[in-house]
Every structure is written in C-alpha cells, then in structure tokens.
Amino acid sequence: MRIAYFTNQYPAASHTFIRREIRAVEALGETVFRYALRPGKNLVDSEDTEEERRTRFILSAGAGEIMRCSAVMLLTRPLVVYQALRLTIQIGWRSDRGILRHLVYVAEAAMLAFWCRQESIQHVHAHFGTNSAAIAMLAWRISGIPYSFTVHGPEEFDKASFIGLAEKIRHSAFVVAISSYGRSQLYRCVEPQYWRKVKVVHCGIDPADFDAAQNPTTFARRFVCVGRLSPQKGHLILVEATRQLALRGEDFELVLCGDGEMRADIEALIRRYDLQTKIRILGWVDGLRVREEISKARALVLSSFAEGLPVVIIEAMALRRPIISTFVAGIPELVNSGENGWLVPAGDVEALVDAMQACLDANPEALAGMGKVAQERALLRHNVNTEAVKLVSLFQASTRET
C-alpha cells in the first residue's frame, strides 16, 4: 500500500514519535511517502537529518510551482476545486486564522493532491488536527484520496470549533486519538453518528531502544523534565517547587531538556531564586541524550497544565523510571500514584513539592519496584510495532471502502 504522511513541520525535535511510527509502518511492508509544509528547526538528531532528506516540502517548491499545480487542478477538475473552496470557506469563516489563510490552504492542498496523484498514493495520514488536517481534507476533496489524522491535544481540544475539527472528522476515513481521554474529547465535538470513526492508537516506542540491560538501576538525587518550554507545561510551577525543596536544605538537581518561548521567563525566575546550581537547561538534545538524562535521574517530573499524552512519560517508564506528573488528560491512563509514580493536581505547588520530597525520600528498592511496574505497563500498551499493525489495518480498510 502507498501511504503519504503529511504534517505542518517534519521532521522536528519534538516529533520523534512520528518518525518512529512511520518506520514501524514501513517495517510492515508498506510504502510511506513523507510530505510536509516545511522542515522543523534546530534539528539535533542524525535520524531527523536523514528524515529531512527523505521528505518533500510544499513551501520549498515555491509560490510559482504551487500556483501552477493549482491552475492545473482548476482547469482539469474545476468542480472539485470549487467544492474545496466551499469547504474551506465553511471551516475558515470563524477560524482564528481567517478566510485568506484558508484560501492559501487550498493552493497547498492542490500541490499535495498533485504530488499524491503522481505517486499513486492510496491514503493520506496527517498528524495534528490543525492546518495539516485541513490541507489533507482539502486534498481529499480535490483528489478523492481518503485521509485520516491523529489528534494529540491539547491545542486541538482548546480550539476545536475554531479549527473546524468536527468537519475534519466528518469527512475523514477515520481519526486517531492517542488516549481514551483524547477519544472522549473528540466525541464531544462531533455528532454521535461519527463516533465510530474515532479510533485509539497509542504513540509507540521501539522496545529495542529501551534495553533494560543498558539502563542503570542506581537512582541519583536528580529529576529530569523533558518537553517544550511553553506555558502549558507549567515550568514556572516546577521552578517554584524546586525553590521550596532547596529551602528545606535538600540536596538534588533538576535538569530541563527542551527549549521554547518560555525559556527567558524560566531563566529569569531561576536567577531570581538563585537556583543556578540546582537547575540546568540543556535546550533541545537528541533522542539518545534524552534517554541518557532520564537514566541518570531518579524520576521524570512534568508539571503540565494541559497535555495529550506525553511520549516522554512512556519513554521514561520504559527506562524503569517513576513519574511525577499531574492529573491531566491521558496521563492517569499510564501513571498510577503509589504504583509507578506520583500524580498531583495541576498548579498545586505544595502537592508537587510533597511528591518530589517523597521521591527523594524513597529507598532504591521502592524506586526499582516502581520502575519495574512502569516498564511493564509502557511496553504492554505502547509498543510501536503493535500500534503500527492497528494503524495499517485502518489504512487498508479505508482503501477498501473507497
């Protein structure tokens, strides 16, 4: 089967789960073409560099080529282009990006449709329910090639009506939620007759990347937090919790892996609290370095206000590390307080301090026991090879139905 994967940016430092999924689908004998609007920035992983080489970028084709493909589609298939224009106005009139931006999507979709027809693509799968899903939907309207998309959250859930999420679900062959929580949020935004289209396929990890024999069982007095430095991740709360633990005289370290728009604010708060010896920000690092940092840590800590289901939690669990995180989105589907980590209410500094203190106070045997439970749960629920089989089955069913 010939499948096109389409995203707004690919590859990207925070999208290793997409690369993993694509390669698992290919391992099942399917042919995958990689398309994106633009490449990601600041790539640090050699595997991402290789993926960039294999990806075709719409915006790199240039405005002239995009307009040429649009003209070809308009001249050869005027009715479907007209239908695509109607559909984009329908979802764009109340969008936060406006009608003009959505009209640009039509031209980008024409380019994607043109490439897909050239390559005899049988199905298009997009990641994220935002503009990538809109372009995949419009490409379907132009080309007739069925599409699906994976919704991660929380952005899609926060502005479902503004991005026309319901309309994208209605026209799709199917839509993927990465957790039961995500499925429930998709149920909320579309009529019950479309619920059958919503399927749960977990983001997966490759067990070969998480060989327990290579993972130390010692637990240093160190926490690691991995993720984009953005408002939804709650890093300022984590810095505040670090300050309170430091005031208690606790000896520990916090390592932040990631970068983003909140970095300056986080660094300013670290300086204000004089925590430079307690907190280090590494910026974006490659997958191997992330696994190394997690393995050196006592636990992964995420103080998120909003999430989908963070892949880094799955990775840390596979590395036999307990998790400290918040009761939001799909996280409680993986983390059980007292079994493989600690869950606290989002935004509750005192509860976060108590959880981090409990982790520091726990003996190595207790932490190892939590880590064992965590690894078993992660590998059972999030094996990329198992999840890829589910996904390919859905791709094949969509082709049979057209």
pLDDT at 213: 44
pTM of the model: 0.91
Q: Which residues pair with 147 in a beta bridge?
A: 124
* Residue 222: count of CB within 10 angstroms of its CB: 16
pLDDT at 402: 60
Low-confidence ranges of the chain (pLDDT < 50): 213
Q: How many Å apart are CA 40 and CA 228, to the nearest integer? A: 14
Whole-number percent of the chain with pLDDT over 70: 98
* Virtual torsion, Cα 182, 184, 186, 192, nearest 10 deg: 160
* Virtual torsion, Cα 299, 305, 311, 317, nearest 10 deg: 30
Check: CB of residue 127 under 8 Å from CB of residue 18: yes
Q: How many Å apart are CA 63 and CA 66, to the nearest integer? A: 5
pLDDT at 85: 83
pLDDT at 211: 67
pLDDT at 304: 97
CATH number 3.40.50.2000 given to 2-204+383-401 = yes
| CATH topology for the 207-381 domain | Rossmann fold (3.40.50)
| Residue extent(s) of CATH 3.40.50.2000 domains in the chain | 2-204+383-401, 207-381
Check: CB of residue 238 under 8 Å from CB of residue 281: no
Query: Encoding tokens for residue 190?
Result: 């579309």
Check: CB of residue 165 under 8 Å from CB of residue 132: no
